[in-house]
A = this chain, B = another copy of it.
Amino acid sequence: MLVVMDHNATKEQIDTVVKIIEGRGLTARPIPGGQRVSIGILNNTGPVDTSLFAGLPGVKEAIAVTRPYKLVSREVKTEDTIVDVGGIKIGNGSLTILAGPCAIENEAQAFTIAEKVKASGAHIFRGGAFKPRTSPYSFQGLGEAGLEILSRVRDKFNMPVVTEAMDYETFELVEEHADIIQIGTRNMQNYTLLKRAGLSPKPILLKRGMAATVEEFLMAAEYILERGNNHVILCERGVRTFVDHSRNTLDLSAIPVIKKESHLPIIVDPSHAAGKREQVLPLSRAAVAAEADGLMVEVHHDPSRAMSDGAQSLYPEQFDVLCRHAAAVYDSFHL
């Protein structure tokens, strides 16, 4: 950390800062500059809380230099993490497609969609059984019955399934049925849930919070790794901005940043970012072009009757085009 002093900070104020640093067992190194003194902090093993200094008399600002994350950092582990889900590898340089409806509505719906997305090239089936909904009056998912349908989808179509766990209470139930356990956007900083996920033997798909910086996103993953589960797949799904023509704004520069900072794989969910069917295809191609490790896409055979998020669900024939385009874009700059 660098503690920048006011240009007219007194010697006493500088000494106070030095004392606080040394009181924590760290080394303080004052750096006299042309206009003001700055004080570097050395020999810290982890990050130092900037708030220790930010409000002190004579201090202009405290600037963090070291990153706060460890286990997710590429400085700690150089090689890419590859998550293996029943033989399907995420993060090994190939492109993985996850697809299915927003919510599992019944077996017929799930089977119809699974058959179609598999035929188009999807590797993993997605579908919600426990649904976090903005309104208590909206459909909340089939719960355990939905999980059982997902298990039957896996058996019948030989596809791993991913579904969301919303809380500690039902985590074990989800864990029994899912091949990948999703932690949703609204729960990115639900630490009880993250800690539970850290104890799971199953891979975790962690979605970025709507207002999370990349640093906060990686710190959320750090909670999972810290408990012992290294199988974390990150998912960019758009952030909240003033833009009103899409539900959220897909932040594709997060992909190169995360790949540089961390060894974890990162996929993209264009459906929730867009909120509108017609933007899903171009955003999917763009995500692949930005080197996402995979795409997670909502598909429904009858979106106007979907029980949630119909407007962003692709028709199966649109998803078929998407798979072909995604593969073509991927190949174009990898060959």
Residues of A within 8 A of B (CB): 2, 4, 7-8, 20, 29, 31-36, 38, 40, 42-47, 49-56, 62-63, 65-66, 68-70, 75, 132-138, 166-169, 186-187, 189-193, 209-211, 213-214, 216, 219, 222-223, 226, 239-246, 249-257, 260, 273-279, 282-283, 285-291, 303-304, 306, 308-313, 325, 328-329, 331-333
Contact = CB atoms under 8 A, between A and B. Distances in A.
A276 B240 CA distance: 22
A240 to B, nearest CB: 4
Contacts of A313: 55
Given A239-B249, A253-B274, A311 B169 contact: no
Contact of A290 (B43, B209, B283): B283
Each complex incorporates copies of this chain amounting to 4
A213 B245 CA distance: 8
Contact of A252 (B65, B214, B252, B275): B252
A242 B223 contact: no
B256 A52 contact: no
Contact of A329 (B54, B70, B210, B333): B333
A219 to B, nearest CB: 5
Given A50-B311, A51-B310, A211-B242, A132 B286 contact: no
B246 A253 contact: yes
Contacts of A2: 2, 38, 63, 65
Nearest to A216: B134
A242 B245 contact: no
A78 to B, nearest CB: 9
A169 to B, nearest CB: 6
Contacts of A239: 241-243, 249
20 contacts: A31-B42, A33-B65, A34-B42, A38-B65, A47-B137, A55-B277, A55-B278, A55-B313, A68-B134, A68-B135, A68-B137, A134-B216, A168-B192, A211-B240, A239-B241, A241-B242, A242-B242, A249-B251, A252-B252, A253-B273
